[in-house]
Structure formats: C-alpha cells, structure tokens
Amino acid sequence: MNCSAATVLSMVLLAAGAPRPGDAHVLAGARLFRESRFAEALVEFRVADRLGAVDAGAYAAAALVKLDRPEDALELFEGAGGPAPGADPLLDYYHALACYGARLYLCADGLLAGVGERTGPRIGEQARKIRRDIAAAIPAPPPPDSVDWYLARARAHADAGRGTLARAFAVEARRLGERRPDRHGAAEAAALLAKLTTAAPAPTP
C-alpha cells in the first residue's frame, strides 16, 4: 500500500457514514503504514480485524509483507476471510508480493496478471517487472527438483499445522508439475491438496 492508497482508504472510510468499532484502528493503521511504521500498522489492523473491520485482515497481511513475513502474510491473504482475488487490485498486488516472497512464483504471476494498470502506473510498472523476473526465473519445463522442493515444503507446512501455506505450496507444485511433459509431481501434489482439503476445506472466495 502506498501513500495514495492509504489516503484513498481514509476517504472511503470517511464517506461510509457512521464509523464502526474498528474503523479508527484501520485509519490509524493506514497512517502508520504510510509513515512506514509497519509493525505499529500491523497492530492497528489486527486490532481492527478483531473489532470486525472489513478487509482489516488483508491490510494486516499487507503490513506483514512490508515486515518481510511473506508466509505469515499468505496465511492471512489465503486463509478464511481473506480477500477474493480480483476484488481489490492493491490487495492483489500485496498478495502477489507475499507469494513472490514465499517463492510461489506462479501464484504471484497469476495475481499480477490481474493487477494490470488498475493500481496506477507505478505499481503497474512494478508488476510488469516482477512478471518479467518470474518468467526468467522459471525454466520451461521446470526441473523436477523444483517440483519436489515445493512438495516438500507443502508437506512440512502440513506437518506443522499450517494448512493454508501447505495448500499454497501444493498448488504451486501441482502447477509446476503440470508444465512438465512427464507431469512430474503433479499427481502427488493433487493428492496432497485433496488430503488437505478434506482435513480443512479451503475458504470459498
């Protein structure tokens, strides 16, 4: 979230009529975010989220991206109550950064493809640059070791009880595996996803 995004957020809240319990914290968080005080912003967004403010969890996730905690951010973006992809390009952009930080490059690429120019020229340019980096980073076809690495990470997160992250890594593994002629690892990833979905159904956007 950049300066203008925080300002827009404040205006939206002001125009929304009677303030709700968490709105003040969202505003405070937005201001702190703008001042690059991301730890404090995270706290405000988390308090706002507890008080029921809409999208406060996603804003907290954006703060976590800024705090270089991409996997923590992913858990908020992709967990229950996370924003639906495409609903807010700015949140999609931060969601993509979280994916990118967690090395979920296909996840990031898909989100950035939807961001386009909807967030303004600066972020649009940044999104295009990241997509170029991703295109250069992922060979075609991806090596089997890469697929195995994502599968291993997915299993490790599943064992640690971080189902959301496990699903994200399993999806990445499956999509990478599907890009190979031999579909290396794709079936294992799909099986793991099925198991994870059975254990804890993914939130429906």
Partner 1 sequence: MIAPLVLAALLAQAPADPCAPVKAAATRDPEGARAYLAVADEERAAGREEPAVMAYRAALQREPGLERARAALAQVCAARRAAAAAGRVEAAFTRGLERLRAGDCPGALPGLEEARTAGDTSAALLVGLCRFRQGEDEQAGQAFREAAAAPDTRAAAELYLGLLALRGGRPGEAAPLFRSATADPSLAPVARELARQARREGRVVVSLLAEGGWDSNVDLDPADGDGDGLAALTGLLSVSPWLERGPYLRGAASVQAQARRDEYDLIALGAAAGLPIGPPRRRLLLEYGYDDRRVGGEPYLSAHRVLADGRAALDDRWSGGAAYSLRGERYHGAAAADDSGLQHAAQLDVTAILDGYRLTVAGQAAWHGARTSSRAYRELGPLLALATPVTARLRGVVEVACTWRAYQARDDALEARRGDTYADAAGRLELDLTERWTTYVSVAARRAFSSVPDLRYARVVPGAGLSFTAGVP
- Number of residues forming the site for partner 1 (CB under 8 A): 23
Contact yes or no for 163/192 (Cβ under 8 A): no
Are 189 and 142 spatial neighbours (Cβ–Cβ below 8 Å)?
Answer: no
**Inter-residue contact 147 to 176 (CB < 8 Å):** yes
- Does 51 help bind partner 1 (rule: CB under 8 A)? yes
Q: Applying CB under 8 A, does 180 fall inside the site for partner 1?
A: no
Contact status: 68 vs partner 1 (CB under 8 A) = no
The minimum distance between CB 147 and partner 1, in angstroms, equals 29
CB 147, CB 173: distance < 8 Å: yes
Work out whether 155 is an interface residue with partner 1 (CB under 8 A): no
Task: Report how far residue 67's alpha carbon sits from residue 74's, in angstroms, rounded to the nearest whole number.
Answer: 13
Among 123, 200, 205, smallest CA distance to 164 is for: 200
Identify the residue among 5, 6, 9, 42 touching partner 1 (CB under 8 A).
42
Q: CB 40 → partner 1: shortest distance, Å?
A: 5
Query: Of 5, 9, 27, 165, which one interacts with partner 1 (CB under 8 A)?
Result: 27
Is residue 37 within the footprint of partner 1 (CB under 8 A)? yes
Smallest distance from the beta carbon of 37 to partner 1, in angstroms? 7
Does 47 bind partner 1 (CB under 8 A)? Our answer is yes
- Which of 1, 9, 33, 46 is the binder for partner 1 (CB under 8 A)? 46
The answer to the question of residue 69 lying near partner 1 (CB under 8 A) is yes
Q: How many CB atoms lie within 10 A of CB 128?
A: 14
Per CB under 8 A, 143 contacts partner 1: no
Residue 189 and residue 174 in contact, taking contact as beta carbons nearer than 8 Å: yes
Torsion of CA 175, 181, 186, 187, to 10 degrees: 150
CB distance 203 to 82 below 8 Å: yes
Asked if 72 interacts with partner 1 (CB under 8 A), we say: yes
Catalog residues that contact partner 1 under the rule CB under 8 A: 14, 19, 23-25, 27-28, 31-32, 35, 37, 39-40, 42-44, 46-47, 50-51, 67, 69, 72
